[in-house]
Every structure is written in C-alpha cells, then in structure tokens.
Chain A
Amino acid sequence: MDVAGLIASLEASGLATGIRNSLYLFPLIESAHVVGLTMVFGTILIIDLRLLGLASTQRRFTAIASDVFKWTWLAFAVTVMTGALMFVTNASTYYNNAYFRAKMVLLVLSGLNMLAFELTARRSLHVWDRHAAAPAAGRAVAALSLALWIGVIFLGRWVGFTTSSVPVPADDVDLEKLEDLLPK
C-alpha cells in the first residue's frame, strides 16, 4: 500500500472516526498531549542544564539521570500515544502540513542526538560524573537537545494554528444541540 493509501485508511478507521465524532475526545487527548510534552521538556531541561554545568552542578550526573530519566520516558510514551491518536484523527491534514513534517524531522534529529551522546560523552561518564559540567561533546549534545525540543514545541503550536483539527468548530457550536447531548 502506498503512503497516501495508508494515510487515507488510517483516517477512515473506526478509531479516527470515533474521535472525530466525539465532542470531547480530541480536546482531552490534546490536553494529555500537552501535559506529556511539558513533562518531557521539563525533565529534559533538568538533564541538559546539568550537562551544561548550569544547574544541579554539585550532584553526580548519574544521580540526576536516575532521578529523572524514567519519568522523561513515561511522559514521552504518553506524548507519542496521544500524538498518534491526534494524527490518525486527521491523518491527511497533518501528513500534508509542512510544520508537522518539520516537527517530525526535529524529533528524529533529537533521537540521533541522544545516540550521539551514547557514542561520545557517555563513554567517559566515569571520568566526569562528578564534574560540574560534561565534556565538550556532552555540552554540545545538551545545547542541541534544548534547541531541538524548543523547536518541536514551537512547530507543534504552528501545526495547531495551520490545521483545522477541531472536531466541531467552536464558533459553529449550537447551544441547543449541545444541551441535547447532556443527560436530561
């Protein structure tokens, strides 16, 4: 199946239709997505500032990493799952959106950046674990990580502003129709 066909079938799936037909699911999924991504960025910020020697400098890097990283991954899992649900809901709109594509590119680069850390600074961790800052390679990874995640957040907001993902446009909601949906 080609990509366009896959995108169309995702959008036609029962899951996507169910979310589109609900007044509440998309806003709730999007809210969970924002909670997830703020936790991802909030915890990654702690790691990157430690690598850069700007905060938590009196603690070992490994102590910070073991405090924080498991929560980063949990939050990332929530963000990816809710992001996937938002994507299938309007798959073709997002797939054809330039900001969405750029955001995905930055996420891949962010993954490669983590790989670069494993291959460089991570290998000499036993040497600099107690140092106030990581060696140059580690600091470069941290600075790039912050730039990439900030870029992801900006692009994500631009995706929202350039796609009409609202299942029912708020301006067109008829109060009388809404009242029919509420338990009598």
Chain B
Amino acid sequence: MTQFAEWLSQTSLSLAIQSHEWVIPTVQSVHIIAIAGVLGSVFMIMLRILVRAGRDQTLAQTTARFGPWLSWALCVLMVTGVVMIVGEPARQLLALSFWLKMGLVVIGTAVAVLFQRSLRRHEPHWESVLVNQSRVKGLAVVTFLVWVSVVVLGRLIAYDYVWGSWSTALKQ
C-alpha cells in the first residue's frame, strides 16, 4: 500500500491537485455538505421507522422523499472522496481511520440499497408488519449510528495517532 500511495502521489493528476492549495479544502467542504445530505436523509427515514417524524406519511412516501437525496449524496461523496485520495494518497490510504471508515461505508451503502430494494418489492409487508418490529427499529438506529461513525472516522483520518500502536499511519 505504501508503494501504491507513493506511485499515486507521483501521477500527473495527483501532482496537479497538490499544486493547487485550494483544491483539497474545497473538495473537503463539498464532501461535508454531501455527508450532511446522507446523515439528514438516513436520520429522517430512521425517525419515520421510530414513529418520531412523518406520522402522516407512509414509509414508502418517506423513502421516496429521502432515498434519491441519499443516493445522489453518496455519489458526490464517492467522487469527492476519490479526489481526496488521489490528492493526498499517503494521508488517506495509510490511515487506520480511513480503512475502518471504508468498511462502515460499504455496510451503510449495502443497507441503503437492500432496504430500498426490499421496500419496493414488499411494500405492503413493510408498511403493515416490518416497520412495527422492534428489530427493524433497532436496525434503523444502528444504520444511523454507522453513518455517524463514518463522519467521526472521516475526521480522525487527520489524527490517526489516536489509535496508538494500532495506527497504520505511524508504522509506515
């Protein structure tokens, strides 16, 4: 991974990003705005499942409102995320926080895709049975916490030493 980061940092695209100081903070700001879209959308769907918001809306209506915003925000996050990796390969790819974050992003994205697909196929079952089950409510809270953890781990990429001897950045 160190060699890959080293190679990536010498590509012309990476050098172009590195030579313009404004690129990384700008892309980070867009990345933060997009994660706000993800967190807000997941939060509202969670609140609907917990019957704490959107009581006048079905689960399908709530998901139709927030699902597309969630998907588009995820696309923006991936594009801006790739720009940050290309621009600062060592900072990202050598950090334990980065890989923990990627693990949770895969889980969170898989849950979002499976949930929306299942809701489309089994809408009556979701509205009448599943949405009332406490394990589904628990899963909704866990999904929201996964995305909160993604935000925390994203910030901790800058502070990989918090992992002490587990930090992969310090071992390079």
Could you tell me the dominant secondary structure of chain A's interface residues?
Answer: helix
Total interface residues on B, CB under 8 Å, equals: 40
Q: Considering the complex of A and B, which 5 residue pairs feature the smallest CB-CB distances, nearest first? A: A42-B40, A67-B53, A27-B159, A41-B36, A42-B36
Contact among A31, A45, A158 for B155, CB-based, below 8 A: A31
Cβ-based interface call for B152 (8 A): yes
Q: What number of A-B contacts does a CB cutoff of 8 Å give?
A: 107
Which residues of B come within 8 Å of A, CB atoms? Answer: 24-26, 28-29, 32-33, 35-41, 43-44, 47, 53-54, 56-57, 65, 69, 148, 151-152, 154-156, 158-162, 164-165, 167, 169-171
Which residues of A come within 8 Å of B, CB atoms? Answer: 23-24, 26-28, 30-32, 34-35, 37-43, 45-46, 55-56, 59, 63, 67-68, 71, 150, 153-154, 157-158, 160-161, 166, 168, 170, 173, 175, 178-179, 181-182
Given A42-B41, A181-B164, A182-B165, A157:B32 Cβ within 8 A: yes
Query: Given A31-B155, A35-B151, A153-B32, 14 other A-B contacts at CB below 8 A?
Result: A23-B161, A24-B162, A27-B156, A27-B158, A27-B162, A31-B152, A35-B39, A38-B39, A42-B38, A153-B33, A153-B36, A154-B29, A157-B32, A179-B165
